[in-house]
Amino acid sequence: MLQIKKIIFFINYINDRTGKAVSFLLYPMIAVLIYEVAMRYLFDRPTIWAHELSALFYAVFFLLGGAYTLRCNAHINVDVFYVRLSLRSRAVMDLFTWLLFYLFCGALLLQSSKFAWASFLNLERSSTVWEPYIWPVKFCIPLAAFLMLLQGLTKTVNDLYIVFTGRELSSNNERVENK
């Protein structure tokens, strides 16, 4: 059991670090957007790169932040009936929904890996005037799917533990560091 807790702690640690690291992408994204707005409306000199760069930042932010969001139980949830269930009943319900999660993330990982590899081999660029490389962003898709699968695994193990013991193995909201 101690080994399982160590693995869960390690996966949580990776997703905490990744989530916090990509959260800093908000600052350059905001700076780029402010620059674009200022250039467009104050100086009548719109850029050809700002909107696309902010979209690339946002794509990485969105993709790699998903596992951290799952870690923090912050994904959208329908709580009307769920919150009224006991801890064990919620765990049973979650175990059924994890099957769909694994199917989706597994398919995403497999398909996006092929997609990202082909993009890398072609050194794919955007089809806009600016033409930035987009293969690094496409590599974030299978990475995000992998991190989501790992985080889902920790939640599934915790749900199984709850079903069999009636208590949590580890709190999914524990933090490695203080906020």
Question: What are 99-158's pLDDT values in tens digits?
Answer: 999 999 999 999 999 999 999 999 999 999 999 999 999 999 999 999 999 999 999 999
Give the CA diameter of the chain: 65
Average pLDDT over all residues of the chain = 92
Mean pLDDT of 16-33: 96
- Kindly report the number of other CB atoms within 10 A of residue 22's CB atom: 20
CA distances for 52 relative to 25, 42, 72, 120, angstroms: 14, 20, 30, 19
Q: Which positions ≥6 away from 121 have C-beta within 8 Å?
A: none
Q: Report residue 122 as tokens.
A: 């072609």
At 78, is the pLDDT very low, low, confident or very high (cuts 50, 70, 90)?
confident
Helix axes 50-71, 26-37, angle to 10 degrees: 150
Mean pLDDT of 35-50: 96
The helix (H) or strand (E) run that includes residue 121 is helix 87-121
Q: Report residue 35 as tokens.
A: 């620059």
CA distances for 87 relative to 1, 12, 100, 164, angstroms: 21, 21, 21, 11
CA distance 2 to 4: 5
Query: What is the structure's pLDDT at 177?
Result: 45
At 77, is the pLDDT very low, low, confident or very high (cuts 50, 70, 90)?
confident
CB 119 within 8 A of CB 58: no
Report domain extents, the chain: 2-165
